[in-house]
Amino acid sequence: MGHWPGTPPPLRGCSARPWSCGAARRWDAADGELAAARTHRTEALELAVACGHAPTLAHVLVGVADQAVRLDRPREAARLLAAALAVRGGPDHSRPDAARVEGAARAALGDAFEEYARYEDAGDVPRPAAVRDLARVTLSG
């Protein structure tokens, strides 16, 4: 199970709660209930960071990128997708959400997508607090 270097492995079952928050936010967003989705995504983000489980945090970041696209903020979506990729360490082809959100952001930004789809952190591995701060920009409004 992936976690950040220098942190203890997550407690057994710790990543289950962010996933359940994620399921709720997906339905909320699909129904156009973006305020409710924001609430669930914020909770999932905080839990994923606290758990220290990189794949779960990456999945939550894709959800926040989806929120950004739905709020017509494709630049934020591109940055969040890049952060999710950095956190995960590579693409996750088993989950189609990232490709769908990337397609929507690319459609909105055109050639400028590559300019925004970058994530840079001071270390080799993205710091949980840094990606949380990035996601909070979208979730705050």
Q: Is the pLDDT of residue 131 over 80?
A: yes
Query: Which pLDDT belongs to residue 24?
Result: 46
pTM for the structure as a whole: 0.79
Query: Which pLDDT belongs to residue 126?
Result: 77
Query: Which pLDDT belongs to residue 26?
Result: 52
SS3 track for the chain? CCECCCCCCCCCCCCHHHHHHHHHHHHHHHCCCHHHHHHHHHHHHHHHHHHCEHHHHHHHHHHHHHHHHHCCCHHHHHHHHHHHHHHHCCCCCCCCHHHHHHHHHHHHHHHHHHHHCCCCCCCCCCCHHHHHHHHHHHHCC
Model pLDDT for residues 88-124, shown as the tens digit of each residue: 888 888 888 899 999 999 999 999 999 999 887 656 6
Q: Is the pLDDT of residue 56 over 70?
A: yes
Model pLDDT for residues 28-48, shown as the tens digit of each residue: 555 566 777 788 888 889 888
Query: Which pLDDT belongs to residue 99?
Result: 94
